Chain A
């Protein structure tokens, strides 16, 4: 598995099998990665709505209680350009990238925090791997590991994505991964943490 350098990234973007759009400034493409910007939606778990995270609550159900629980779990904010959002210490926020991303079947994306923001305490907590074939915005799980709130504005570069060529890992193959539950996402949403694992949950 080899990383793509700048010229290889530009080459794949030019061929349009890899899409990261829009790229607003030439220096957004670094030596081996593309900077990603903060999008315009923020999803925050509402403290006090739930006693704990329970995988059983994600079992497929269309009853009032289950829908209410899922819908009220997060608070959603639209944050237009030139407005701001404060990420408090200890807070977890789901935010989309401004960029729309399409990963071809032979590449994998790895998302990390830009080091300048990481030094301020901003961290992209999880889900750093973007699978081959993924299409949509990338959801960043932002956490503030510092001790003071961080003010974020849509459009700021907060993350970066690097690409790895999977063909060198398994020659002649790549991709073919099952569709992600977040495929074609336009904004962050809660995941289903028990998807395909229902047999391990207590019977109802």
Chain B
């Protein structure tokens, strides 16, 4: 009869073979060396642990078994991680933000950047960034796995929602968690609707809650879920984390994040009443984001050009129309949101290029003109005298321009608009490479 240790040793050998098989695939723009070496080092640690663990040490065998399972999960994703499976130009830009936010102290280095792995999987609801919560002691770096939906490979405008997922990575990163907690606890979660689970339950079950919310809560009632027990079912800390991540998304990606979140969340929950065990109602999320947009003046750029102003106004009118009119959905006061987003913004500003800043009128006009002319938007320009110049463009401004044009064009052209923006981000990398 095979023992537990025999079985784990066999699975370890299987994993070594699987790791070698992953080199059949090209995963990651910088090649597979770093990921391969990190996994090999972890497998070495597992082998050493198994060698020193007697069959009778059930606790350690269980711990090592857990490490093996985590590694096998990671390796099984490689086949869906080829560069051609996702929009690599977008992911490369996203990585710069993730590295700035998630660099942390490890045993080997005081400032270890995360190792970022990208996976193409599933559909609309698959946007995620997995952060390793536990690493084997041999691990040099934390592995972040960015998941982009396979069906939305070219839809870079929607990819802005990864700003929210960056928030999860930041929240779980040891470097910034305390600072973030300090900000949000003081400004958002010490008073009002989200002061504590009881206050939130009271708001949810209040008589003036929208009918759609009441009907959803009524469906939970047969399972014993009511105002008192609601947060035995739903996870209060997860709700709080979702709110924080929404605000980080707003501050890292700006208008394109809000547009992506509003479109994606309402596509899955048109009423805005949808809530879950891990997130508050969609409508209140969109409402505090749209309030945050104004408080951070992302919608208040003063442009001289009437055309640019017209396009921008149309975009914001269309987006703000998604705000829930019922004041029940406004869960924070303007003062709360302003104080929290200002302090979070200052924190992100210390981690360049993490914080979003608004484009200049010149840049935005140029990007809009290109998109309207069916040309991928970049920093390349020929002026009236025939002089050519190439300048840097923040990919978040490209995405903003894409959403602005999308608000005024045929919805069927949305795919083409995404392709143009994706192509523009790729071409901008060429411009940046040339000038580096």
In the bound complex, CA of A10 to CA of B427 (Å): 21
B144 beta carbon closer than 8 Å to chain A: no
A172-204 interface bits toward B, Cβ cutoff 8 Å, 1 = contact, 0 = none = 000000000000101000000000000000000
- The closest CB in chain A to the CB of B374 belongs to A135
Closest residue of chain A to B85 (Cβ to Cβ) is A78
Partner of B386, one of A14, A100, A154: A14
- Report A-chain residues with C-beta under 8 Å of the C-beta of B370: 21
| Binary per-residue interface labels of chain B (368-409) against chain A in the complex, 1 for a CB within 8 Å, 0 otherwise | 001001111011101111101010000000000000000000
A145-188 interface mask toward B, CB cutoff 8 Å, 1 = contact, 0 = none? 00000000011000000000000000000000000000010100
In the bound complex, residues from chain A placing their C-beta under 8 Å from that of B433 are: 81-82, 155
Across the interface, do A80 and B83 meet the contact criterion of CB distance under 8 Å? yes
Q: Which residues of A contact B383 (CB under 8 A)?
A: 14
For A53, what are the chain B residues with a Cβ–Cβ distance below 8 Å? none
A110 adjacent to chain B (CB < 8 Å): no
* A 100-119 to B, binary, CB cutoff 8 A, 1 in contact else 0: 10100000000000000000
Within 8 A of A (CB), among B340-393: 370, 373-376, 378-380, 382-386, 388, 390
Bound form: Cα–Cα A109–B419 in Å:
24
Interface residue? B416 (CB, 8 A):
yes
**CB-contact partner of B430 in A16, A78, A98, under 8 A:** A98
Check B268 for interface membership: any CB of A closer than 8 A. no
Give the B interface residue count (CB, 8 A): 31
Given A10-B386, A11-B386, A80-B88, A21 and B378 touching (CB < 8 A)?
yes
Q: A19–B388 contact, CB under 8 A? A: no
A22–B380 CB distance below 8 A: yes
Does B285 belong to the interface (CB within 8 Å)?
Answer: no
Instruction: Give the number of A-B contacts (CB < 8 Å).
Output: 73
A21-B378, A22-B380, A102-B375 given; A37·B430 CB < 8 A: yes
Q: Nearest B residue to A25 by beta-carbon distance?
A: B434
Q: Which residues of B contact A100 (CB under 8 A)?
A: 375-376, 423, 427
How long is the Cα–Cα vector from A81 to B375 in the complex, in angstroms?
A: 21
Please tell me if A47 contacts chain B, counting CB pairs below 8 Å: no
Tell me whether B188 is interfacial, beta carbon within 8 Å: no
Is B431 interfacial (CB 8 A cutoff)?
A: yes
B416 contacts A78, C-beta separation under 8 Å: no
Q: Which residue of B lies closest to A24 (CB)?
A: B434
Find chain B residues with CB under 8 A from A40 CB. Answer: 426
Residues of B within 8 A of A155 (CB): 430, 433-434
Query: In the complex, what distance in Å separates the CA atom of A77 from the CA atom of B427?
Result: 17
Query: When the two chains form their complex, are residues A102 and B374 in contact, meaning their CB atoms are under 8 A apart?
Result: yes
* Residue B58, interface by CB 8 Å: no
Residues of A within 8 A of B374 (CB): 102, 135, 184
> Does B54 belong to the interface (CB within 8 Å)?
no
Q: Which of B83, B376, B384, B419 contacts A78 (CB 8 A)?
A: B83
A67 interface residue per 8 A CB criterion:
no
Cβ contact of A13, chosen from B382, B416, B434, cutoff 8 A: B382
Return the CB mask of A9-47 against B: 1 if under 8 Å, else 0.
011011010010111111000000000010010000000
Q: How far is the CB of B92 from chain A (nearest CB, A)?
A: 8
- Minimum CB distance partner of A186 in chain B: B419
Tell me if B430 and A21 are in contact (CB < 8 A): no
Contacts of A80 on B, CB cut-off 8 Å?
29, 83, 88, 92
Cβ of A59 within 8 Å of any chain B Cβ, yes or no, is no
In the complex, the 7 A-B pairs of residues with the closest C-beta atoms, listed nearest first: A22-B380, A78-B84, A10-B386, A24-B434, A78-B83, A80-B29, A14-B386
Pick 18 A–B contacts, CB within 8 A, sort by A. Answer: A10-B382, A10-B386, A14-B384, A14-B385, A16-B382, A21-B375, A21-B376, A21-B378, A21-B427, A22-B380, A22-B390, A23-B388, A40-B426, A78-B84, A81-B430, A100-B427, A102-B374, A155-B434
Besides A22-B379, A100-B375, 11 new A-B residue pairs in contact (Cβ under 8 A), listed by A number: A13-B382, A14-B382, A14-B384, A21-B370, A22-B390, A77-B84, A80-B88, A81-B429, A81-B433, A137-B423, A186-B422
The interface of chain A, by Cβ under 8 A from chain B, is 10-11, 13-14, 16, 19, 21-26, 37, 40, 76-78, 80-83, 98, 100, 102, 135, 137, 154-155, 184, 186
